Amino acid sequence: MERSLIILKPDAVQRGLMGPIISRLEQRGLRFAGLKLMRVDEALARRHYAVHEGKPFFASLVEYITSGPVVVAAITGNNVIATIRNTVGATNPSQAAPGTIRGDYAVEIGRNLIHASDSPENGEKELALFFAPNELVELERSTDRWIYE
């Protein structure tokens, strides 16, 4: 079982795309274990994107993610990391396939709408930064059998 952190970045909220993006993840069959609207402060942004520290776009990335409210979600299930990354599309929207979230709604790498964890290890680390344990629900195995079996 894997867990992924999703962030609907400030451009997604500002453009009114929370619903359409969440719908795509939900309709694919992914199961949400946590969901909230919040602001990301600079300290949290720097921790979340620590792996990119030193890159030329780091400062603008921190500015972008702190520029307005975001929606964060926890998604759990078998193979959710790869499934979500495929649904999200390539980092640069100009390379993202039509039918993906970035490929259908975005054009700029600096405004690419959504974050999704890139490995099970990073999923766990990132979830711990954004959610307290009591903010995540235990999913019912009986009703989500196709994910948990």
The dihedral formed by the CA atoms of 37, 42, 44 and 47, expressed in degrees to the nearest 10:
140
For Mg ion, the nearest residue by Cβ is 118
Question: With CB under 6 A as the contact rule, which of the stretches 12-20, 75-83, 108-116, 128-136 interacts with ligand IDP?
Answer: 108-116
Q: Which does 22 bind (CB under 5 to 8 A by kind): ligand IDP, Mg ion, none?
A: none
Q: How many CB atoms neighbour CB 111 within 10 A?
A: 16
Residue whose CB is less far from ligand IDP, 22 or 106? 106
**115 an active-site residue?**
yes
> Out of Mg ion, ligand IDP, none, which partner does residue 112 contact, by CB within 5 to 8 A per kind?
ligand IDP
- The residue within the footprint of ligand IDP, chosen from 6, 25, 61, 70 (CB under 6 A), is 61
- Site for ligand IDP, residues 115 to 144, rule: CB under 6 A: 115, 118
Regarding 112 and contact with ligand IDP (CB under 6 A), the answer is: yes
In the bound complex, what is the minimum distance in angstroms from residue 142's beta carbon to Mg ion?
34
Question: Which residue spans within 78-132 are E strands per DSSP?
Answer: 114-116
List interacting residues with ligand IDP (CB under 6 A): 57, 61, 91, 109-110, 112, 115, 118
| Residues labelled as active-site residues | 115
